[in-house]
Amino acid sequence: MGTWESNIRRVTPYTPGEQPNKPGMIKLNTNENPYPPAPGVERALRETDVNRLRLYPDPTASELVKAIAQNKGLSGDQVFVGVGSDDVLAMCFLTFFNSGKPILFPDITYSFYDVWADVFRIPFETPALDADFNLVPGDYYRENGGIIFPNPNAPTGVECPQDVIEDILRHNPEVIVIVDEAYVDFGAVSALPLLEKYENLIVVQTFSKSRSLAGLRIGYAMANPELIRCLNDVKYSFNSYTMDQTALELGAASIRDTSYFNETIRKIAATRERTKKRLRELGFSFRDSKSNFIFATHENCPAKELFDALRERDIYVRYFPKPRIDQYLRITIGTDEEMDVFLSFLENYLNNRCHCSQRIDI
Ligand code: PMP
């Protein structure tokens, strides 16, 4: 083996949910939004000047940054944009988690965190959520190199109350605390107002879920101007032009359309509540979800069996064969029509299975 081989940075990569593209499929596996982007996005796309693509995009992404800042009541120097929140979060890991002490995130959480920690050689520890999938604030009082957790959490959908977030911030003034709010718009409370009080807080959000733009790749971090400046320094040391011209124009058009945004969120939350009710009737249980997915377990049917049966019928949900959560399915909220097909399939499947096993028992 040549020396070069032992010098390769070897990592176990993150596994994204599959992206099948079959006619008639129902895709409830990657928490995408079932509704199209805001009408202004299509308009902006039609009006795009192709000749503009000859030039490099604005490296400061100022139009998009300004539009986000305006929407959030912040100033432009409090906003950093990236290629999806995955890019923003990766930049945060690289910029802020350099103490050599272990960073902390929950044992059940977004499975990209340990991958970034690994690729950047950041030590980490994963305090266990309690039996109801709640964060235990006391676990975050120990010495650490930084803290990150999603709110609502993924894949559980459970919201972390503001007083717990503030408690964690109060106990950790020496490190950066990142709240990953990929799903916050679907009904949870944002930590954004805490920015005024805590200079070590970073709030990360995305256009991928509530703004129906997973394909465009826009995420953003909000924090005090000094932290944003540090993020930009690292970005410029890596790739000046992370945001392409189309993303800059379409992203700005998207965030300006508040009424379409509010209406889409309202529809998804209503479908979620209806889906919860039917799932309960079918024998599923789950913690209350404030996101655009439900993390559910069935009282007697194994999750992997249901996952396979649904997949066979081209209904895709997400299954994680991991400790503590291998009896759960993560089900993204689709349109009412999609959820009806999904729920009817489950109803038939569980009924037939029930009759079958009763016959076998006799
Ligand atoms: N954070 C969490 C908790 C997520 O579930 C996701 C989606 N996979 C992301 C961040 C990244 O989303 P995006 O890069 O599309 O903004």
Count the Cβ atoms, other than its own, within 10 Å of residue 91: 23
Residue-level pLDDT at 73: 98
Q: Which atom of ligand 1 is nearest to the CA of 208?
A: 15
Judged by average pLDDT, the poorest of 22-26, 93-97, 212-216, 276-280 is: 22-26
pLDDT band at 360 (very low <50, low <70, confident <90, very high): very low
Q: Is 206 helix (H, G, I), strand (E, B) or coil?
A: strand
Q: What is the mean pLDDT of residues 255-277?
A: 97
Q: Is 148 helix (H, G, I), strand (E, B) or coil?
A: strand
pLDDT band at 2 (very low <50, low <70, confident <90, very high): confident
What is this structure's pTM? 0.96
Q: Is 9 helix (H, G, I), strand (E, B) or coil?
A: coil
Residue 357 reports pLDDT greater than 90: no
Share of the chain above pLDDT 70, in %: 97
Residue 53 reports pLDDT greater than 50: yes
Pocket test for ligand 1, best of 156, 207, 208 (most atoms within 8 A of CB): 208
Cβ neighbours of residue 339 under 8 Å, at least 6 residues apart? 271, 274, 275, 333
pLDDT band at 254 (very low <50, low <70, confident <90, very high): very high
Q: Which atom of ligand 1 is nearest to the CA of 209?
A: 15
Ligand 1: which residue has its CA nearest to atom 6? 182
Q: What is the mean pLDDT of the chain?
A: 96
CA of 211 to the centre of ligand 1 (A): 13
Residue 77 reports pLDDT greater than 80: yes
CA of 86 to the centre of ligand 1 (A): 6
CA of 209 to the centre of ligand 1 (A): 8
Residue 347 reports pLDDT greater than 80: yes
Q: What is the mean pLDDT of residues 50-63?
A: 97
Residue 234 reports pLDDT greater than 70: yes
Strand order in the sheet with 318-319: 284-285, 293-298, 329-332, 318-319
Q: Could you read off the pLDDT of 109-145 as tens digits, one per residue?
A: 999 999 999 999 999 999 999 999 999 999 999 999 9
